[in-house]
């Protein structure tokens, strides 16, 4: 029974880290981005969950406490600005979590206004090097 349940859970919930200091959620539809960021934040004290859909992201947020959520703006084909929806959901359900929103869009001014309405902690435009992403998170006083 447990084995069959484990197979049904999204991959992020199958990770196990002993005594984690922090937990982060990375949401993007690009699996290479998810892989790279999960590898970048690999640590014995950090759980880095990844999701590629709105449903799995909400599931993770409903079942885990996160200190940090990094999300792409347009990670979901069916929902325009799904990243804004997730940011609002994070701030509603986990108000202490830091939220970083990134986008490949050139419409950053309009997006900046939307991001302010849902209290995004940091907004940046892709592409960005992994070292800069890590530095941004360090500047948010995170445990990476």
Q: What mean pLDDT do residues 66-77 have? A: 87
Q: How many CA atoms lie within 13 A of 119 on its CB side?
A: 10
Tally of structural domains, the chain:
1
Contact between 122 and 140 (Cβ < 8 Å): yes
Q: pTM for the complete prediction?
A: 0.79
CATH code, domain with 88: 3.40.50.2300
Residue range(s) defining the domain that contains residue 111: 19-139
pLDDT bracket for residue 13 (50, 70, 90): very low
5 in a domain, yes or no? no
* Residue corresponding to tokens 């014995």: 44
pLDDT of 18-63, one tens digit each?
555 788 999 999 999 899 888 888 877 788 899 999 999 999 999 9
Q: How many CA atoms lie within 13 A of 32 on its CB side?
A: 0
98 in a domain, yes or no? yes
42 in a domain, yes or no? yes
9 in a domain, yes or no? no
87 in a domain, yes or no? yes
CA distances from 108 to 74, 126, 144 (A): 13, 11, 27
pLDDT of residue 77: 75
pLDDT of 75-90, one tens digit each?
877 777 888 999 999 9
48 in a domain, yes or no? yes
pLDDT of 91-140, one tens digit each?
999 999 999 988 877 666 777 778 888 888 888 888 888 888 888 777 76
pLDDT of 32-44, one tens digit each?
989 988 888 887 7
């Amino acid at each position: 029974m447990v084995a069959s349940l484990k197979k049904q859970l999204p991959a992020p919930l199958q990770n196990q880290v002993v005594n984690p200091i922090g937990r982060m959620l990375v949401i993007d539809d690009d699996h290479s981005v998810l892989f790279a960021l999960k590898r970048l934040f690999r640590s014995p004290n950090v759980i880095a969950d990844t999701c590629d859909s709105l449903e799995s992201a909400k599931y993770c947020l409903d079942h885990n406490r996160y200190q940090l959520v990094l999300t792409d703006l347009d990670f979901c084909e069916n929902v325009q600005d799904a990243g804004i929806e997730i940011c609002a959901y994070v701030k509603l359900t986990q108000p202490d979590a830091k939220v970083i929103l990134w986008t490949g869009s050139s419409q950053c001014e309009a997006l900046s206004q939307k991001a302010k309405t849902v209290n995004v902690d940091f907004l940046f435009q892709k592409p960005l090097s992994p070292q800069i992403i890590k530095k941004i998170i360090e500047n948010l006083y995170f445990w990476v």
